[in-house]
A and B are shown apart, each in its own frame.
Chain A
Amino acid sequence: MRSARALTSLGLATTAMLALAACSGGGAPESTPSDVELRMTVWTSNEDHLALFDSIAEAYMEEHPEVTDITFDPLPFEDYTSTVTTQIAGGSAPDLAWILENAAPDFVDSGALLPLDETLEGTDGYEFDDLSESATALWHDESGGLVAYPFSTSPFVTFANDDLLKAAGLPTSAEMQAAGDWNWESISEAGSAVHASTGKAGFVVRDFDYVTWDYLASVWNGWGAAPWSEDGATCTFDSDEMIGAFEFLHDAAFTKQSMPGPGTTADFFAGESAFTVTQISRASLLAGDFAWNLLPLPEGPEGEYSVVGQAGIGVLADSPNADAAAEFLAFFTNPENSEQLAQFFPPPRESQLNVDTLAATNPTLTPAQIEDVVIPGIEAGVTRPSHTDSAEIAQEVRGALDALWVPDADIPGTLEDVCTTIDPLLG
């Protein structure tokens, strides 16, 4: 932004209008190393999360008196990336930022993030090699440097409301699984029956809402589908696998009515649907008003599969306090703190991905659930789709997919249109 800002200032100086221009702040004042204030943008506003972050920050500031303040700045999740980007554009970039996996390529490729390898490796007791390769895959820049720490690798799982299933006279989720019926077809059948007999919703792909289509990755991976090729250059929305997945979803929404249709909202955690597919971290929303169960993703035609959502923490290279921020990040994610963070965010450290560590910090989940659902989910998980220009691709796909969410949709035709629309962006 520096050059843009200079140009604007130039244009204004020539018009020589108000004293206001003279008062302009320009850049942030040079902070002396003795008075460092750090700001990290996050998308959680959960009080327990923030309390934990604050306690880690307190501990850090005790050891590092030059850092006088560390704030965690919660931004709304729905337009988090856009807001952070606008902050960067608006000259008020944070020092550290959570980055969602779908925006990772934009941040990683632009050079906006500071490479972290040296700082992390150079920190005593950091155990840099403990970071799993699959967890960090998304966060390496062209030269192979790690530019963000993947603090959360959260598997997509299925939550079931057994009370609703019973009310509809159906077997519980555990019984379904035991009977070898834990697949999308059975879920859709059960969901349909629940909807017919209770009026509640069948299954909900949480946060999708017929807008945020990339959450459907938790479904289409069961069909072996992907939105684009590995290298991101070719659109594969029109593949047979993807068509199969969307035919299933369309059938569920409009024929079986096992999934709420567009414009209808149902919140699993308020007891309004029988199943939901979402990230494990949402377990914190369970209030205990109904009997629930945690299961892996249902099998698709391609068999078992799992999907993870990832989030990284990066240091903005342009920050005047970039080095101090990187050092704080090294502390924030050292083995002990990583273990604490693990109660909310499954860590990238191989040594901590075990039942003992996770069970100790996750009171809502049973050790069996962690062993059967969480750990295998993380280990085998395919990451949610990501690409450069993610905001624009997201918008274009969303727009093109709208044609699919009507009762008599041309599914293959619509998916072909999706590819036509986003091909120029992928290339």
Chain B
Amino acid sequence: MRTDAIARNSGPDAAAAQAAAVIARPVLDVDDALRDQRAPRDQRAGQGRGRPSPWRKVVLYGLLSVLAIPFVFPTWWMITSSFKPISQIFAFPPELWPSNPTLDGYVGAFTAQPFALQYFNSMYIAIVVTVGTMLFASMAGYAFARIRFRGQGILFLVVLTGLLIPAEVTIVPLFQMFNSWGMIDTHWPLILVSTFGAPSVLATFIMRQYFITLPVELEEAARIDGLGRWRIYWSIALPLSRSALAAVAIFTFLHVWNLYLEPTVYLQTPELFTLPQALTRYTDAYGGEMWNVQLAAATLTALPVLIVFVFAQKQFVEGLAQTGLKG
């Protein structure tokens, strides 16, 4: 397995890599898992217990359906309740389908707060950070994997400390630093810390692990053709690493999309809020509740990503299969 290769290294590099492997593992294995799903049947001999009997199948479906309730019901309830008038949301018995559907909640979502702007904020921050992370993490990952330079091991170790220090630990000094730079109540702290700080280290690690596996011959051929490092990285290594980049992109996007502590600390103006922060601020002028509005906004926040996931899951898996980098 991947970690063995790391273990065979010696020196600080190996120790650091081992530390990082702990945290990097889920992402890498998600690709593995997803790819395995697409592997030809005969290669999956190890899985399962063969074909279960029809009776066992019924039990299995029943069990899975019951287990699926807490995973499906909240989303279902969120979507349906967002179309209910506020007085119906806590009606008893609970309605599984709105009897008097209304769009009041959706109208309210956009009038009570600058929701469209907040949506844009979340979206552009997530995209900027995702693209930035893909670029800088792949550059760093490439250099750590393919270029030899003095102090490489130590420098890599320094970078990996980012994995060991949760962002929550450094939130107070970061607040004071951005304060001294006049960046409080701007998007800069969210963009800069997410792109260059601790959250991006995982991406660098994933990219490094990926670039290590590329065959050396590709680069040699490129160099004979007179390509510089940047061209080799940009035109050869990067296109080959699509599946790793996809994993980095998905995880970075979800991470930034979900940030809550950081925007709560750094942002104060509703026009600058991100979605998670905005969702918790749906109260009327005097702190009264606006449940239907809040649920409508939550639905608008959750649904697009969910839909993209359902489709992208397939794309992602197929993308992995096409790279021809099966173990």
Say whether A77 contacts B179, CB under 8 Å: no
Is A44 in contact with B180, judged by CB distance below 8 angstroms? no
- Against B, the Cβ 8 Å flags (1 = close, 0 = not) of A1-22 are 1001100110010000000110
Query: Smallest CB–CB gap between A41 and chain B, Å?
Result: 9
Known: A78-B283, A207-B286, A285-B286. A86 touches B268 (CB 8 A): yes
- In the complex, whether A388 has a CB less than 8 A from a CB of chain B is no
Kindly specify which of B181-189, B211-219, B318-326 makes contact with the partner chain: B181-189
Chain A residues with Cβ below 8 Å from B192 are: 20
Q: How far is the CA of A43 from the CA of B281 in the complex (A)?
A: 13
Contact (Cβ within 8 A) A89 B285: no
* B286 in contact with A270 (CB, 8 Å): no
A209 to B182, CA, bound (A): 37
Is residue B269 contacting chain A, with contact meaning CB distance below 8 A? yes
When A8-B180, A78-B283, A270-B86 are in contact, do A285 and B268 touch as well, CB less than 8 Å? no
> How distant is A208 from chain B, measured CB to nearest CB, in Å?
11
Contact A25 B286, beta carbon cutoff 8 Å: no
Expressed in whole angstroms, the minimum distance between the Cβ of A216 and any Cβ of chain B is 16
Please, which residues of chain B bring their CB within 8 A of the CB of A87?
A: 185, 268
Contact of B287 among A20, A26, A78, A269 (CB under 8 A): A78
Contact of A5 (CB < 8 Å), options: B179, B183, B185, B270: B179
Q: Is residue A24 within 8 Å, beta carbon to beta carbon, of the partner chain?
A: yes
B184 touches A282 (CB 8 A): no
* B175 / chain A contacts, CB cutoff of 8 Å: 90
**A76:B268 contact, CB within 8 angstroms:** no
Question: Smallest CB–CB gap between B132 and chain A, Å?
Answer: 15
Given contacts A44-B285, A90-B184, A269-B288, contact A8 B268 (CB under 8 A): no
User: Hey, what's the 0/1 contact readout for B172-214 against A, CB within 8 Å counting as 1?
Assistant: 0101110111111100000010000000000000000000000
Is A91's CB within 8 Å of the partner chain B?
A: yes
Question: A90 with B179: in contact, given A75-B268, A83-B268, A270-B86 (CB under 8 Å)?
Answer: yes
| Any B CB within 8 A of the CB of A23 | yes
Known: A8-B177, A12-B177, A73-B269. A91 touches B182 (CB 8 A): yes
CB distance from A49 to the nearest CB of B (A): 8
Q: Which of chain A's residues have a CB closer than 8 A to the CB of B288?
A: 267, 269, 285
Give Cα distance in the complex from A421 to B287, angstroms.
28
DSSP majority for the A interface?
A: loop
Asked if B29 lies at the interface with its beta carbon under 8 angstroms from chain A, I say no
Q: Which of B173, B268, B283, B284 contacts A90 (CB 8 A)?
A: B268
Interface centre among B87, B184, B288 (most CB of A within 10 A): B288
CB distance from A169 to the nearest CB of B (A): 22
B95 within 8 Å of A (CB atoms): no
- B286 contacts A23, C-beta separation under 8 Å: no
Asked if B185 and A90 sit within 8 Å, CB to CB, the answer is yes
Q: In chain A between 248 and 268, which residues have their CB closer than 8 angstroms to a CB of chain B? A: 265, 267
List B contacts of A89 (CB < 8 A). Answer: 179
1/0 per residue B100-126: CB within 8 Å of A? 000000000000000000000000000
CA distance A272 to B92 in the complex (A): 14
A97 to B188, CA, bound (A): 26
B220 within 8 A of A: no
The reply on A92 being an interface residue by CB < 8 A is: yes
Flag if A21 contacts B181 (CB, 8 Å).
yes
Q: In whole angstroms, how far apart are the Cα atoms of A26 and B220 in the complex?
A: 50
Q: Is A46's beta carbon under 8 Å from chain B? A: yes
Question: Which of B183, B184, B287 has the most chain A CB atoms closer than 10 A to its own CB?
Answer: B287
In the complex, what residue of chain A is closest to B183 when comparing beta carbons? A25
Contacts of A1 in B (CB 8 A): 179
CA A230 – CA B181 in complex, angstroms? 43
**B residues in contact with A86, CB < 8 Å:** 265, 268
Give 1 or 0 for each of B147-179: 1 = CB within 8 Å of chain A CB. Answer: 000000000000000000000000001011101
Interface residues in A60-103 by Cβ distance below 8 A to B read: 73-78, 83, 86-87, 89-92
Whole-angstrom CA separation of A417 from B176 in the bound complex: 36
* CB < 8 Å neighbour of B182 from A25, A76, A267: A25
Residues of A in contact with B (beta carbons under 8 Å apart): 1, 4-5, 8-9, 12, 20-21, 23-26, 28, 43-46, 49, 73-78, 83, 86-87, 89-92, 199, 207, 265, 267, 269-272, 281-282, 285
Identify 17 residue pairs between A and B in the complex whose beta-carbon atoms are under 8 Å apart, listed by A's number: A1-B179, A4-B176, A8-B176, A24-B180, A26-B180, A73-B269, A76-B283, A77-B283, A77-B287, A87-B185, A89-B179, A90-B184, A91-B179, A91-B180, A267-B289, A271-B87, A285-B288
The 6 closest A-B pairs by CB, nearest first: A25-B182, A90-B184, A24-B181, A77-B287, A8-B180, A46-B285
